[in-house]
Structure 1
Amino acid sequence: MIPISLIAFGFLLFSTVHSQSPGTFINPSPQPQDFARFGTDPLSGNAVYTVGNLLNITWVPLESGSMTIVMWQVDPERPRNQIGDLQYLPGSSNLDASHYTWNPIGVDGNNGNPDFDLTDSNVFYFALYQTNGLTPLSLTSFFNLTDSKVNALGQSISATTSSILSTTSSTTSSTSSPFHSTAAIPSSPPATTSAIISASTGTSGSSDMTTGAKAGIGLGVSFGVAILVALLAGIYLLLKRKKATPTSPPPGLTAGQTEYKQEMPPSPKPRLVSTYGDSSSPMHELPSYQ
């Protein structure tokens, strides 16, 4: 006996496959068949693809005939409206298969790619036509493209980075559109670094900060000058004290003398020996007086 769960699964699979008519997109997911609902779904659930990567587009094949894929750019403020004309992907016409690989994704107009400006809008959808047909057989759900300049929300990456620095304290939020983040983001980035600093700290904080900085600078300069004056005064007094201290001259050198002189000791007095009556002492005759 076949389990009831297996029968239910088979029935669900069969009904899912046959609910998609030929010429219906599989990936990206299709728009509802009711075209009155076109553009009414919230954009916050859009799939996101990156320029430079690849995208596999698949659909339910027709019994006969070829298919052509075109691409539209959507106005995010009025999703039911397109910007400009439809454009083809590289080799996306007269397709006999049921799949197409866009590799790499490009919107610069080179190598057969469409030419779109993501700063105008990064929201798109594909339309599937039977070749030479006038009415699309299927439309994909909206999807977003992102590159090095535009993020998934359609915001300029450089402007978003600058706004994060300048609105870190902002509590304003907006949820009316998925193309606005929860923090208020200015329309253009701050012009200078000083503007970023002033925006992040606020006007009142900047003036208080300037007053405190001035007071700190004045106190620091005064303290430094006082230390310098005290140091110079100490050096001056030390030099003056050394200059006033007299130096003792070396022995034998009196004031005013420039050379060292040592007086010879007096000659010893001759020792007088009496020779009177001593016959052994030599006799010295006096020279005769002439």
Structure 2
Amino acid sequence: MSSITVAAHAKINLTLYVGNKRSDGYHDIDSIMHQIVLSDEITVSADDSLRLTVAEGTAPAGEDNLMWTAARRFLDAASLTKGLSMILKKRIPSPAGMGGGSADAAAVLLAANEVYDHPLSQDELLSLAAGLGADVPFCLAGGCARCQGIGEKMTPVTPWHGLPLVIVRPDISVSTGAAYAQIDASSHKRPDTTEQMVQALEEKNISLLSASLMNHFEEGLFPQEDELARTSEALSRFGRPFQMTGSGSAFFLIADDLKEARHIAETISREHSAWYTAVTETL
């Protein structure tokens, strides 16, 4: 196959427990990640050299993009002397904690493997993904999973298809490093609710899901970033479950249905025109 176009789906963190800092500088996590419909579009073609074109949205178009690193490592691992042409249509906001860059890198690995007639196994692709970033293995596997270790230890979890979501990203970028430092310095952290979230997904229990939402980055970042606390306050008045995803700055709100989701998104857009808003749902 000479060319393939794939969707690189964003993710949300329904739980994100941040454990102690490890000797290698990373933190152990316990998180339920769930893919959502919102996605970037990536076209990958066989080529004589390595090229990346950003055809829509804003993203680096060279070696600073994780897609480039993913392509280079795939070609090396597959012992290919040829290259890849990559075209990116960027629709996932970034930086947002939604795994946009990770999803793009995972999509490149999958598409490149397809274009070159599957020279690498799924395990080999997952190994490459783990070397690219903590969220890349999940984005490659897809669906819904409990991610532990630094994100590479994945246990499939029953997905909840079609949960209506409003994505809101205030116009702010946050420091993940500063957030980790704040969490490390905290003497009191919210308990890990990941087990309860697994149960909520299995039972399709929205009340238990709502009660099980948790993200340690909220307590690490809200005291430092007024705009994040302001976004949380703005979402709280709709009376629906919501949470910041990943290390931010995007939030997701779970609506009763898509009609309500669109109404909430329109209301937020009117009142906060600088914020990114989108309506989507879980895969």
Query: What's the TM-score, normalizing by structure 2?
Result: 0.23
Higher RCO, 1 vs 2 (CA within 8 Å, ≥6 residues apart): 2
> What TM-score comes out, normalization by structure 1 length?
0.22
From the two aligned structures, give the one with the greater strand fraction.
Answer: 2
Q: Which has the larger radius of gyration?
A: 1
Greater helix content: 2
